[in-house]
Amino acid sequence: MMLYRLLSQKRRDRFDSVVLSLMDQGSLRHRIEDLGISVYTACMTAGMATQASIWRLIRLVRKIKPDLIQGWLYHGSLVAQFAAMFAPNKAPVIWGIHSSTYSLSLDKKMTAIVVRLCAPLSKLASSIVFVSRTSQSQHKAKGYCTENSCVIPNGIDTTLFAPSNEARVSVRAELGLSTDALLIGVIGRYHPMKDHENFLRAAGQISKRYGEAHFLLAGRRVDEDNRALLELIQELKLDQHVHLLGERTDIARLAAALDILCLSSCYGESFPTIVGEAMSCAVPCVVTNVGDSAWMVGDTGRFVSPRDTGSLAAACEEFLKIGPAGRQALGAAARARVTELFSLSSVVARYEELYENSIATAAREGKSSKMAYQGLTGVSLDKNA
């Protein structure tokens, strides 16, 4: 989504973008194409690159002739560095690292291999973009070259993610709740790093003291087909309090409807965008101290240790005790913090400056000959667009 938002906001008179997805064309393909941006695929399969897919990748890069290649995530960055060897313009390569790395044992085996492989190769990149300071320091400790790196957080669209009383009312109506029902939410895909169990166990403690509280969970595989979630909800006797909404496209509406947003993740987060989005909706957040989440909320929210169910519940209860006026004051401060530090427009401007500086540097070093062109062609390589 951050790639999509970046593409949607970049200056079209200066940047001509192309997306090359390594596997299929992905769920965002049509939204990206609606921006007037071409989406290609190398037709790789998960876990392996066939000779045919490699040749397809090389042909596409030679056809596109990019002035700059930006890798998105580990796999995309690794392939971007490889693809640059075949780009006619000897395009500079920017890596994009969007996660933190607490322990490679927690990652998929192939992902862990790619993370290790990228470390010695990182010195070849023109620049590396980390989305959090925590991620930058963790990767430096793992041998990544950070001399030519920078931190650019994910940008928050403060126009889309905004306070909305209509959203509060309509979401509660959808769930069959009264307009003044307390609603605490977690929004994120079902994955061990998100630690939905921690949130639900905290919800069980909260519901014993706040029987009117309800808990909204949304994200891929966070639905009625997830037996592990259903069994835990039944064990905690939360059947009448938990609402599993599955994967949704109206995240801005759901976020604006909440009284509190929780991030219960136990590892892996770098710059959890949903936290910034909820803050932009003037919703106070309770987060676990993973990635830059604690720094993101500052004094507008609360942070607790990962897997500390009691502290997570207590922090939420603190926000429930201060009432609507207290939460509104914290929410207003949270939105002001996002506007100042994480607005999408400021993040896009930083990417544009990085692109222009990278291409100008490459031109001075004799690696590019197209700086005289008005439009610069950049290709973004994503594992799955």
Based on the fold, state whether residues 87 and 53 are members of the same structural domain. yes
205, part of any domain: yes
Above pLDDT 70, what percent of the chain?
93
Q: How confident is the model over 153-187, as pLDDT tens digits?
A: 999 999 999 999 999 999 999 999 999 999 999 99
User: In angstroms, how far is CA 45 from the centroid of its own chain?
Assistant: 23
Mean pLDDT confidence for 218-243: 97
Cα(75)–Cα(117) distance, integer angstroms: 10
Helix (H), strand (E), coil (C) string for the chain: CHHHHHHHHCCCCCEEEEEEECCCCCCCHHHHHCCCCEEEECCCECCECCHHHHHHHHHHHHHHCCCEEEEEHHHHHHHHHHHHHHCCCCCCEEEEECCCCCCHHHCCHHHHHHHHHHHHHHHHCCEEEECCHHHHHHHHHCCCCCCCEEECCCCECCCCCCCCHHHHHHHHHHHCCCCCCEEEEEECCCCHHHCHHHHHHHHHHHHHHCCCEEEEEECCCCCCCCHHHHHHHHHCCCCCCEEECCCCCCHHHHHHHCCEEEECCCCCCCCCHHHHHHHHCCCCEEEECCCCHHHHHHHHCEEECCCCHHHHHHHHHHHHHCHHHHHHHHHHHHHHHHHHHCEHHHHHHHHHHHHHHHHHHHHHCCCCCCCCCCCEEEEEEECCC
Q: Do 290 and 362 belong to one domain?
A: no
Whether residue 260 is found in the same domain as residue 272 = yes
Residue 337 lies in a domain: yes
At 214 the pLDDT is: 98
Question: In the predicted model, is pLDDT for residue 303 greater than 70?
Answer: yes
Residue 202 pLDDT greater than 80, yes or no? yes
Q: Give 291's pLDDT tier (boundaries 50, 70, 90).
A: very high
pLDDT of residue 23: 87
Q: Which two tokens stand for residue 99?
A: 């996660």
Single pTM value for the model: 0.82
Q: Is residue 275 part of a domain?
A: yes
Q: Does residue 58 carry a pLDDT above 90?
A: yes
Q: Are residues 289 and 372 in the same domain?
A: no
Angle (CA) 299 305 307, round 5°:
140
- Asked if the model's pLDDT at residue 127 lies above 60, the reply is yes
> 75 and 210: one domain?
no
Asked if the model's pLDDT at residue 367 lies above 50, the reply is: no
Mean pLDDT of 361-374: 58
Residues 110 and 190 in one domain: no
Mean pLDDT in residue range 204-222: 97
Q: What percent of the chain has pLDDT over 90?
A: 82
Please indicate, yes or no, whether residues 73 and 84 belong to a single structural domain of this protein: yes
pLDDT for residue 374: 35
Res. 378: pLDDT tops 70: no
Same domain, 58 and 174: no
116 part of a folded domain = yes
What distance lies between CA 111 and its chain's CA centroid? Answer: 17
> Residue 385 has what pLDDT?
47
Q: Tell whether 210 and 131 lie within a shared domain.
A: no
Q: Is residue 183 part of a domain?
A: yes
The mean predicted confidence, pLDDT, of the chain is 92
Decide if pLDDT at 335 tops 80. yes
pLDDT beyond 80 at 354: yes
Residue 370, pLDDT above cutoff 50: no
For the stretch 242-258, pLDDT in tens is 999 999 999 999 999 99
CB atoms inside a 10 Å sphere around CB 316: 27
CB 90 within 8 A of CB 362: yes
What's the confidence (pLDDT) of residue 109?
80
Whether 307 and 354 map to the same domain: the answer is no
Could you give the CA distance from residue 56 to residue 326 in angstroms, rounded to a whole number? 57
CATH of the domain at 322: 3.40.50.2000
Domain that holds residue 114: 2-155+343-382
Query: Is residue 194 one of the residues assigned to a domain?
Result: yes
Please tell me the predicted confidence (pLDDT) of residue 373: 31
Establish if 213 belongs to a structural domain: yes
Count up the domains in the chain and report the number. Answer: 2
Give the pLDDT of residue 1: 86
Residue 160 lies in a domain: no
Distances from the Cα of 21 to the Cα of 40, 68, 190, angstroms: 6, 16, 23
- Residues 349, 258 share a domain: no
Q: Residue 345 pLDDT more than 60?
A: yes
Q: Are 353 and 314 within one domain?
A: no
Task: Answer yes or no: is pLDDT of 102 > 60.
Answer: yes
